[in-house]
Amino acid sequence: MKKYTCQNCLLLNLIHHHIQFLTYIKESVFFNIFFRMKPSRIIGDPVQFIDKEDTKKIRPLSEFKAKYEVIQNIEVGVTSTVDLVKSKENSNNYIAKTISRNFVGPPMSLWGFLQILSKFDHPNMVKIIDIFGDEKVLILINEYANDGNLLDKFKKLNGSEFSEKTASNFIREIVSFIDYLHTNKIAHNNLKPENILFQDGKLKIADFGYSKILKNEALVSSSAGSPEFLPPELLKNGEPSLESDLWNIGVLSFFLLTGRSPFGETDFKRYQGIVTGTIDFGEDFEENKISADAKDFIEKCLTVDIKARITAKGALNHPWISEESAGEKNWNPPVEKIVAFLEKRREAAIDPQARGTIVEKLRQGEKRRKKEASQNENTESEVKNDDENTPQEQ
Judged by DSSP in three states, 44 sits in: coil
Superfamily classification of domain 146-378 = Transferase(Phosphotransferase) domain 1 (1.10.510.10)
Q: Where are the domains of the chain?
A: 41-144, 146-378
Residues of the chain with pLDDT under 50: 1-4, 10-11, 14, 17-52, 54-56, 106-108, 213-222, 224-225, 326, 350-352, 354, 394
According to DSSP, residue 58 is labeled S
Nearest alpha-carbon partner for 68 in 55, 78, 59: 59
Q: Alpha helix locations (H) across the chain? A: 2-27, 29-31, 54-57, 61-67, 110-119, 150-155, 164-183, 216-221, 232-236, 242-258, 267-276, 282-286, 292-301, 312-316, 335-347, 352-389
What values do phi and psi take at 307, rounded to 5? Answer: -70, -30
Write out pLDDT tens, residues 29-54. Answer: 333 322 332 322 222 222 233 444 54
Query: pLDDT at position 316, please?
Result: 95
- How far apart, in whole angstroms, are the C-alpha atoms of residue 259 and residue 225? 15
Say if strands 202-205 and 196-199 run parallel, antiparallel, or are unpaired. antiparallel
State the Cα–Cα distance between residues 83 and 72, nearest whole angstrom: 6
At 224 the pLDDT is 43
CATH class of 41-144: alpha beta
Neighbours of 203 (CB within 10 A): 22
Instruction: Specify the pLDDT at position 180.
Output: 92
Give the model confidence (pLDDT) of 187-205 as tens digits.
888 888 988 999 998 999 9
Helix (H, G, I), strand (E, B) or coil at 143: strand
Q: Residues 198, 148: contact at Cβ < 8 Å?
A: yes
In the sheet with 137-143, reading across from the earlier edge strand, the strands are: 68-76, 80-87, 93-100, 137-143, 128-133
Is the pTM above the cut of 0.75? no
Q: Which are the contacts of 80, defined by CB distance < 8 A and separation ≥ 6?
A: 97, 98, 99, 100, 103, 222
DSSP 86-129: EETTT--EEEEEEEEGGGB-SSB-HHHHHHHHHH---TTBPPEE
Identify the pLDDT of residue 141: 92
Residue 333 CA from chain centroid, whole number? 27
